[in-house]
Structure 1
Amino acid sequence: MDPLFNATSAPNWTTSDTNNGTEYWNQFVQPVWRIVLWAIAYSSIVIVSVVGNVTVIWIIMAHKRMRTVTNYFLLNLAFAEASMSAFNTVINFTYAVHNEWYFGPVYCRFHNFFPIAAVFASIYSMTAIALDRYMAIIYPLQQRMSSTETKVVVAVIWVLALLLAFPQYYYSNTDELPGRVVCYIDWPEYTMCDFKKMYYVCVAILIYFLPLLVMGCAYRVVGLTLWASEIPGDSSDRYKEQLNAKRKVVKMMIVVVCTFAVCWLPYHIFFLLHEFLPDMFEEPFIQQVYLTIMWLAMSSTMYNPIIYCCLNDRFRAGFKQAFHCFPCVPQGSYEGLELKSARYYHTQTSVYKTSRMETSVSTVLQVGDDKEQHKMKALGGTGSGRAAMVSRPHSISTDVTSNGSSSLSFSKTISDMSSFYSSNNLQE
């Protein structure tokens, strides 16, 4: 996947004629101090990315209530980013600095194959989240994806990712040049078309431009729906809290997508320029440009856990729980991770108060009914007086029945609303 190295001509080594014959030398040799600085920069990516994304995976997998549709896709995103950071970042850096392949032909195939698959899985997980948010907000009455359907979508994403990356695996090869070994992709040559350029253009479209276009359109509509529309003046507090919760989720995902787009844009531009203007990549300064661009692209794997921690209360609670042994980490409430948020307690308290109120009203009315019946028996009136006394308890009894029915209906409504907001809370 690295433009500097996917060429059979190996332009990074220059030949010069001497009296003893041909001498090979590497024009991209760097001083030790520069290599050390780059090593620190790339090592920081690997440490933060692997630790952060593994923690995200633990937060989702270890807590049943965190296994929602959105979080399943975030789990897939974290796995892809942690894997790419662990298996490719250091290797990329070593090859870029020394310009020599030390890792054998098998890992050469994996090195050229896996990054495309991981990036494809990452960006299409974000695309799936965008489409899920779009359906949940624009069409709220339609049924959401189940956990089984979500897992099927994740499996399909990985199958397509592996198929897209397969040509780089199939044509990868190693070759021994004078004084070094190189890992490259030996693309076939066709008279009808340039397969190499066509493939790289398709990859750039499929793993960057097309999904970003889809996510941009989806989040534009969702944003207009959530932010442009005014909240009705008589809306309940629960409606406003629900709306704010949806806004927070969408805001977090927009930040994730924008971060990915900014980090990978220079790499894809560099990638395409290398295919159409290869001569400019013979200059010695291009190595530093490439290391900078590659660092920015690889750094996208470490930002997402930081974004989740800053913008999502439950992930923040999970990170505090995971790193509670460190003195610099403040003690947080673990209940937030279990989705027992303030809205949940508020809803439960409202249901409890409503039930108590219903019981009290029913008791008072029942006592009043008993007193009226006792008075009627004591007076023992006749004629119209007795009829009036008989009809009055009947009226009270009817009122009690009516009030009880109304109270039960009201209690049921509150319970249904509680279930709705609780289930909505799980899916957010």
Structure 2
Amino acid sequence: MNSRWSKSAMSAAADLLGWLDASTLLVLAVSFLLAYRWLRFPRNLPPGPAGAPLIGYVPWLGKHPYLTFTELTRTYGDVFTCWFGPVPVIAVNGFEATQELLVTRGHDFMDRPIANAMAVILESDKGIVFNPYGDKWRKLRRLTLSALRDFGMGKASLEEKVLEEMEAVTEEFMATQAKPFNPKRIFKNAASNVICSINFGSRYQYTDPKFQQLLDFNDFFFSQPVQGGIETFLPFLAPLFLRIPGSRFHKLLAGSKQLEGFINEIIEEHRNSYDESNIRDFIDIFLKYTMDAEKESPNMKECEFTTDNLFHMIMDVFGAGTETTATSFAWLFLYMTAFPDVQRKVQQEIDEVIGQGRRPCLKDRERLVYMDAVVRVQRHATCTIHSPHRAVEDTTFRNYNVPRAAMIMVNLWSVHRDGRYWRPTIYPDAG
């Protein structure tokens, strides 16, 4: 009887599978996987909006998720859960909660998730920003900070390069012959060239086609949505996205490969001209590290760091420095135009402190008090987002469970506009 029942059940199952088409089976399979992942998470997550089955709160995020998150704090407080499909996103808002997360308990939340299909496609985990926390990430970070200290932060040599770029920017401005123009691309040229001097040891002419290709890819990359799409919580579908002709994922990969070829040529040139007694830039520091490692362990088949790591580290530095710097300058110019009285006070202070006989330098900053306050427009403009984090291991935050598999997103906009610390925004037409 059991045998007859089994045959009957198998026959019914076969009939059912025959009735279901491939798309229905795919939907059922994906629904099962999403439900399974959702049930795996512990209870007592921070409260938050319910959203909809399977897709979570994604359709309600809108074009500006940071504004949506800020509005949700009115109901749920500074820390709440917002589901992206089956993935719980722990949204952290406001100055106090952010300081507690990233400073007071920074070590507990230093890990990085592979946040979306874009990160998988671009292999971002080979760099720093999306690399999971661990020994390799610490070494990559230490190596990058060493390069920035040697060729960047606080160095007089970098100051000279910045001043050189500002002269090039002035020439570009003068070439417009007082006609209306958007200065942001010019700012990107300048910011990117300063980073080129750190990474490659040289700058490029603004008309150089390969240099402009680098900026074009940077523009395209930062124009893509970074959260809220299906790719945010289904990174395993990355190979499928790549098969869609003309899709943004296909374009991102193609652009990344072109840049990889361009940068690999520079790396190879550095290998051929490498001189241990004359370390010129970031690439040379990386080459020195790998060569020293090979000397210490001659039997090691290959170094733990590869050219792929170097390429992604370089792109991380470009991504962190080019777009943010150019956007900050653009906002600064916009506000100076909107507030001409502030512009006059800045110019007056520069004339009094520096005069007409020399160029400004970093040492002047402590005397340019008013200008220094104006330059801090980055806080008001919030020209970037904070990279997603995750807990190093399952933990709690403010008496709520935070599983390691959850994505943690800091809403910088809410930090910079926290009414408990900053005065309300005043616009030119506020009266």
Q: TM-score of the superposition, structure 2-length normalised?
A: 0.24
Q: TM-score of the superposition, structure 1-length normalised?
A: 0.24
